[in-house]
Amino acid sequence: MKKGLFPGSFDPFTKGHEAIVFKAVELFDEVIIGIGINSNKAFLFDLEKRIDHINELFKNNPKVKVQTYQSLTVDFCKKNKASHIIRGLRNSQDFEYEKTIAHMNEAISGIETIFFLTDLKYGALNSSIIREIYLNKADISPFVTSPDFLV
Ligand code: ADP
């Protein structure tokens, strides 16, 4: 049973995130979407609604689970017996940032990170820009898996 953890803020969960999950289920028996809760960083979108929405989105795919966590990502991996961390890459900035974190995670725990490239059409999707668009009252529905969790 090969489990992978896809950690992130997912604030909001975008079509780019969804595409990474679809790629990851090809390799793993179970993919846990881990929403990291950081006491210094408030979420914009309601956490419970996001969890319900992600569960609804993958309700026909029993390989995909969603959980929240507050610990170090590698500790959450160990707790769930996930062998790998899953992350998505859009560009070279993502790569440089992710490389440092992946190296540190490997150094402290031995847990490797596996990267999937973004789909060509989602390369510009970025949760923080989507939050800005939303805060300025423009339509974010083309970028997110459903606007339902915004209600
Ligand atoms: P974090 O705050 O941990 O970066 P995010 O929710 O922004 O969390 O992103 C979670 C993961 O999804 C990261 O690996 C990020 O690079 C990846 N990701 C975000 N948007 C996309 C996208 N459009 N295509 C592919 N991967 C993405």
Residues 89-124 pLDDT 10s: 999 999 999 999 999 999 999 999 999 999 999 999
Nearest CA to ligand 1 atom 4: 8
Tokens coding 136: 């300025």
- Phi and psi based region of residue 71 (left: phi greater than 0; alpha: psi -120 to 50; beta: remaining): beta
Q: 3-class DSSP state for residue 44?
A: coil
* Model confidence, pTM: 0.96
Please tell me the distance from the alpha carbon of residue 95 to that of residue 128, in angstroms, as a whole number: 17
Dihedral Cα 22, 108, 75, 24, nearest 10 deg: 10
pLDDT number for residue 151: 45
- pLDDT exceeds 90 at position 76: yes
Q: Is 13 in the pocket of ligand 1 (CB under 6 A)?
A: no
Separation between Cα atoms, residue 36 and residue 87, nearest integer Å: 13
Q: Vertex 29, ends 46 and 98: CA angle to 5°?
A: 60
Q: For the CA atoms of the chain, what is the radius of gyration? A: 15
Note the pLDDT tens digit of each residue in 1-17: 999 999 999 999 999 99
Res. 147 pLDDT band, cuts 50 70 90: low
Q: What does the pLDDT average to over 57-73?
A: 97
Cα of 47 from ligand 1 centre, angstroms: 17
Distance 107 CA to ligand 1 centre (A): 22
pLDDT, averaged across the chain: 95
Residue 84 contacts by C-beta under 8 Å, 6 or more apart in sequence?
2, 4, 5, 28, 77, 111, 112, 113, 114
CA of 132 to the centre of ligand 1 (A): 16
Burial of 68 (0-12, 13-18, 19+ CB in 10 A): middle
Q: Answer whether residue 27 shows pLDDT above 70.
A: yes
